[in-house]
């Protein structure tokens, strides 16, 4: 049996050299109310490294001394992933990042007319000059440099091309299209990335998508289709406002639906999801795609009958591939096959008439408001089986 079941209409993408860089420890931590302790940051970083993420954005060094200590503990761990830090286009920010022994920085400044007028009170030429000086300064210190145009998806395309082409000429290794408000459509992200890619010679394009309209994952994928090489992610999709592109959704959508394996150790996705859930204190909905507690649970009799024959009838891939587990739930929709399966698991034998009676009583019990735990089910069965 194969491990996945997908639509024959899905395209196979040629995404050579594409990779993910994770910002759980920076943008994820900027979720209101989230504050990772230093040892928690280190543990998450180590787990991201085990996941085989190429780059980890470990934090924002200028924020505090404790932030710098946490980042330095990560850079001192000898992880395989490159460790990046965020900095504004300011020398003092870059110097603080250098003090943390990071491999590179993501330096950013806003470029949209809205941000220029109401936040920065500068024109684009002034902002561009600040950005180029920052890129040049960081490159002079031997860093990997990604230049990010904040609010890029509300910036005129000619300005996006101009400033990112200039960043490449000043040594930027990667330039970012930041959908800061999550207001781009997949078609817009594709168009921006495809047009920008025509004007760059070697710098990679990265996409950093927010989820305000629920488009972060699909926008990221359309960015890749348009020519981007890197995607910014967070575990569980945490981040400011509605969050960022969820790493588990990006990784598995590409692997399962688009037949492109990013080379990640996906079997620990659920483990790292629960780790971040615990430390962030942001509860994962039980039906959250892929890593939710109940997404591989089955109750409906029609579904259960088929799943017991072949799980791929009602599962897009085998749950073990991301460290999940399948579970047959008993309730008002359960049929004989599910009940017989649970009886067998509990080591109980019932005649056909007894089985029908157990099914009937199970349905009635659930409709009366009682959840069918193993203990409840066992009590039902033992009262009926003679």
pLDDT tens digits, one per residue of 298-347: 988 888 899 999 999 999 999 999 999 999 889 899 889 888 888 998 89
Q: What is the domain partition of the chain in residue ranges?
A: 19-280, 297-384
Distance CA 164, CA 171 (A): 11
Distance CA 111, CA 117 (A): 10
Comparing 372 with 231, the larger pLDDT belongs to: 231
Hey, what's the torsion of the CAs at 164, 206, 81, 275, to 10 degrees?
Answer: 140
pLDDT of amino acid 300 = 85
Per-residue pLDDT band at 216 (split at 50, 70, 90):
very high
Distance CA 138, CA 145 (A): 7
pLDDT of amino acid 374 = 86
Answer whether residue 113 shows pLDDT above 80: yes
* 235: Cβ contacts below 8 Å, ≥ 6 apart: 22, 24, 28, 44, 48, 246, 247, 248, 272, 273, 275, 276
Cα Rg for the chain, rounded, in angstroms? 25
Mean pLDDT of 25-53: 98
Three-state DSSP at 60 gives coil
Distance CA 257, CA 252 (A): 8
Mean pLDDT for the chain overall: 96
DSSP string, 306-318: HHHH-GGGT-SB-
Comparing 62 with 351, the larger pLDDT belongs to: 62
Mean pLDDT of 219-226: 98
Per-residue pLDDT band at 271 (split at 50, 70, 90):
very high
Cβ contact 272:25 at 8 Å: no
Q: What is the DSSP letter of 210?
A: B
Residue pLDDT, tens place only, 45-88: 999 999 999 999 999 999 999 999 999 999 999 999 999 999 99
Comparing 166 with 337, the larger pLDDT belongs to: 166
Residue pLDDT, tens place only, 196-214: 999 999 999 999 999 999 9
Q: Hey, what are 119's tokens?
A: 């936040």
Cβ contact 48:24 at 8 Å: yes
Cβ contact 56:62 at 8 Å: no
Answer whether residue 286 shows pLDDT above 80: yes
Answer whether residue 386 shows pLDDT above 80: no
pLDDT of amino acid 342 = 87
Q: What is the DSSP letter of 321?
A: G
Q: What is the DSSP letter of 333?
A: T
Three-state DSSP at 62 gives helix
Per-residue pLDDT band at 254 (split at 50, 70, 90):
very high
Terminal-to-terminal C-alpha distance of the chain:
39
Mean pLDDT of 22-26: 98
Entry pTM = 0.93
For domain 19-280, the question of CATH label 3.20.20.70 is answered with yes
């Amino acid at each position: 049996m194969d491990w996945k079941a997908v639509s024959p209409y899905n395209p196979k993408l040629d995404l050579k050299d594409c990779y993910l860089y994770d910002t759980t420890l920076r943008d994820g931590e900027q979720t209101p109310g989230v504050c990772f302790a230093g040892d928690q940051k280190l543990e998450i970083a180590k787990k991201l490294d085990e996941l085989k993420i190429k780059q980890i954005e470990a934090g924002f060094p200028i924020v505090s001394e404790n932030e710098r200590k946490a980042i330095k503990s990560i850079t001192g761990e000898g992880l395989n992933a490159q460790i990046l830090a965020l900095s504004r286009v300011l020398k003092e920010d870059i110097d603080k990042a250098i003090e943390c022994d990071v491999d590179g920085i993501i330096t950013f400044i806003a470029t949209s007319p809205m941000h220029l007028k109401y936040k920065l009170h500068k024109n684009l030429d002034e902002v561009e000059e600040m950005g180029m000086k920052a890129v040049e300064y960081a490159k002079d210190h031997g860093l990997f440099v990604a230049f990010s145009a904040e609010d890029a998806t509300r910036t005129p395309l000619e300005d996006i091309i101009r400033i990112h082409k200039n960043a490449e000429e000043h040594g930027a290794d990667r330039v970012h299209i930041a959908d800061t408000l999550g207001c781009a459509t997949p078609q817009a992200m594709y168009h921006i990335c495809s047009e920008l890619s025509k004007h760059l010679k070697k710098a990679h394009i990265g996409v950093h998508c927010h989820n305000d309209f629920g488009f972060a994952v699909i926008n990221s994928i359309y960015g890749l289709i348009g020519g981007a090489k890197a995607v910014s992610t967070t575990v569980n999709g945490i981040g400011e406002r509605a969050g960022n592109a969820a790493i588990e959704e990006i990784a598995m959508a590409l692997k399962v639906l688009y037949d492109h394996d990013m080379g990640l150790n996906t079997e620990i996705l659920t483990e790292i999801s629960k780790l971040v859930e615990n430390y962030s204190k942001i509860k994962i909905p039980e039906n959250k795609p892929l890593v939710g507690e109940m997404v591989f649970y089955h109750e409906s009799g029609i579904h259960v009958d088929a799943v017991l024959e072949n799980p791929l009838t009602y599962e897009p891939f085998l749950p073990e591939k991301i460290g999940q587990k399948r579970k047959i739930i008993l309730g008002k929709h359960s049929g004989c096959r599910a009940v017989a399966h649970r009886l067998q698991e509990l080591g109980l034998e019932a005649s056909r008439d007894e089985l029908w009676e157990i099914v009937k009583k199970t349905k009635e019990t659930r409709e009366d408001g009682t959840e069918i735990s193993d203990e409840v089910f066992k009590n039902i069965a033992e009262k009926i089986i003679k």
